[in-house]
Amino acid sequence: MLELTITDVHTAGGGAFSGPKWITVVGVLRENGREIGNFTAKRITIGFFQFSACSAAARCANAIGMDIAAWLENPQPNSRLGSA
């Protein structure tokens, strides 16, 4: 079982003019109740090509999803994914 907890989201409106946007997720992978790995994943988007806070958050979420998928191939304890 993979337990995910979103611990931080910063997506102030205003696109690039309101600064960077980020999402942080903590995950724990358990098998038969025993923890076999955990991670903190963070992705930050900065730049002038983001059109809205929602699109920036979507980019961060998609990147974190890819980070987690890669981690699941070889889960380790106390892993840092993305910008974490």
Helix H or strand E encompassing 29 = strand 21-31
Total structural domains within the chain: 1
Average pLDDT, the chain: 90
- Write the Ramachandran bin of 67: left for phi over 0, alpha for psi from -120 to 50, otherwise beta: alpha
Of the pLDDT bands very low, low, confident and very high (cuts 50, 70, 90), residue 16 is: low
Mean pLDDT, residues 20-24 taken together: 92
pLDDT for the residue numbered 27? 98
Q: Which residue did the predictor score with more confidence, 39 or 13?
A: 39
- Domain coverage including residue 35: 2-82
Task: Express as a percent the part of the chain with pLDDT over 70.
Answer: 90
